[in-house]
Amino acid sequence: MKITPSLIKAFIIFPMNVMGVIPGFLLWCSLEGRILEKYYPSFDMLRSFPGGLLMGAGASLCWITVSLFSEHGGGGTPAPYDPPKFFVARGVYSRVRNPMMIGVIMVLLGEAMLFGSLPIFIWAVIFIQGCLVLIPFWEEPDLERRFGASYLEYKNKVPRWLPKF
């Protein structure tokens, strides 16, 4: 994969903020008042191990999808201001239409689990609700306009959220 300044900018603007900055801020705010009570995050194996697995799998899925856009999308990025020039329907995109969002959701739920953080879980729920609204009402119509019949055929064959195996 060719790492370009545009790709780095797209990664910093979207995934880094959604999966890193906002959860970090929420975690910091939720711990701030508890430090005086000698609260320290506990990492028990019942939630830390599956949380870490979810984070790792989600981050890997995000990297794979960004790589597919970079390698096969004609120089574009996942960012709305620099979309791929070519329609990408290979790899994980041949199984599910929104693997990048699924990866982000996995990371957010993993972070909530790992840190036992209700605020991060609430942020994950807000993000999921945003995806449920924005994808069918903004992203998909935009893809239909840009890629026409090929996207419509893809949309009819590949599920939006639950991968086909």
pTM, to two decimals? 0.83
What are the b/e assignments for 132-148, b being 16+ CB within 10 Å? Answer: eeebeeebbeebeeebe
Structure tokens at 143: 């893809």
pLDDT for residue 16: 78
What does the domain layout of the chain look like in residue ranges? 5-25+45-157
Q: State how far the alpha carbon of 66 is from the alpha carbons of 14, 20, 49, 56, in Å.
A: 12, 17, 26, 15
pLDDT tens, the chain, 165 aa long: 556 666 666 666 777 778 778 888 888 877 654 554 454 555 677 778 899 999 999 999 988 888 888 778 776 666 666 777 888 888 999 999 999 999 999 999 999 998 888 889 999 999 999 999 999 999 999 999 999 999 999 999 999 998 888
